[in-house]
Amino acid sequence: MRQILEDIDRTLQKPAAFDPASAQNTFRIAANDAFELVVLPPLMQRLQQTAPQVRIVVESTEGVVPVDALTHGTVDIAWGHFDSIAPGLRTEVVLEDTLACLVRKGHPSIQGTLSLMQFCTAPHLVVALKGNTLPDLVQRRMAESGLTLNIALQVPHMLAAPVIVMQSDYLLTLPTRVALALCRPAGAGVAAIAFCLPAFCAFSGLA
């Protein structure tokens, strides 16, 4: 987490004389839910201590690098999992993560680690949020092995997903850090995946 914050700090800081204590800059970050859950809370805590007058505005990436916004300076940094990176952008991998499943505590058949058979046969909740590339990524990997995902419910928003998981036997596949951040307030559990799924990588890009 410290490395992630340091990377973001370096990217956000403008050249020349930037004094965090007196700075009144507004930084615009195009990012996804994972950023808001995992990176934004400790980042804002740090900024509150070191740069209390700095303002952060987060905009949705919708899964696409906002090249025009980066080029014209209306967005300072883009953060997320992107299928492709436009040429000419400076990029850096700031987070790599495994995948895990959010499950309700007391799930009748899943405790601890998920086997491939359990993952395939259990009912899944999928968040079909615009820009969320993770469901397609998982389903492509399953299809490569001749397997399919048992999708019982598809919703367009993330907000209700943890609540639904708490009250059902559905699985919700997420980056592990996101699953851990959600499980505490939701009162859910996190099941590790015992087989190979594509790793989640987040890139920061700056024009």
**4-32 tens-digit pLDDT:** 566 666 666 555 667 888 889 999 999 88
In a domain, 206, yes or no: no
Same domain for 74 and 105: no
Q: What is the pLDDT of residue 46?
A: 94
Q: What is the CATH number of the domain that holds 8?
A: 3.40.190.10
Q: What is the pLDDT of residue 123?
A: 95
User: What confidence tens digit (pLDDT) does each residue in 108-152 have?
Assistant: 888 888 888 899 899 999 998 766 667 777 888 888 888 888 999
Domains in the chain, number: 2
Same domain for 116 and 83: no
**Residue 141: domain span:** 98-199
Residue type, 164: I
Same domain for 21 and 49: yes
In a domain, 193, yes or no: yes
Q: What is the pLDDT of residue 166?
A: 92
Same domain for 106 and 63: no
Q: Which of 43, 77, 96 is the last residue of a domain?
A: 96
User: If we measure between CA atoms, which residue out of 97, 66, 84, 85 comes closest to residue 4?
Assistant: 97
Same domain for 173 and 129: yes
Same domain for 106 and 44: no
**Is the confidence at residue 49, as pLDDT, over 80?**
yes
Q: What is the pLDDT of residue 109?
A: 86
Q: pTM higher than 0.75 for the full model?
A: yes
Q: What is the pLDDT of residue 204?
A: 61
Same domain for 166 and 131: yes
H runs (alpha helix) in the chain? 2-12, 33-34, 40-50, 67-72, 116-121, 134-144, 161-166, 176-186
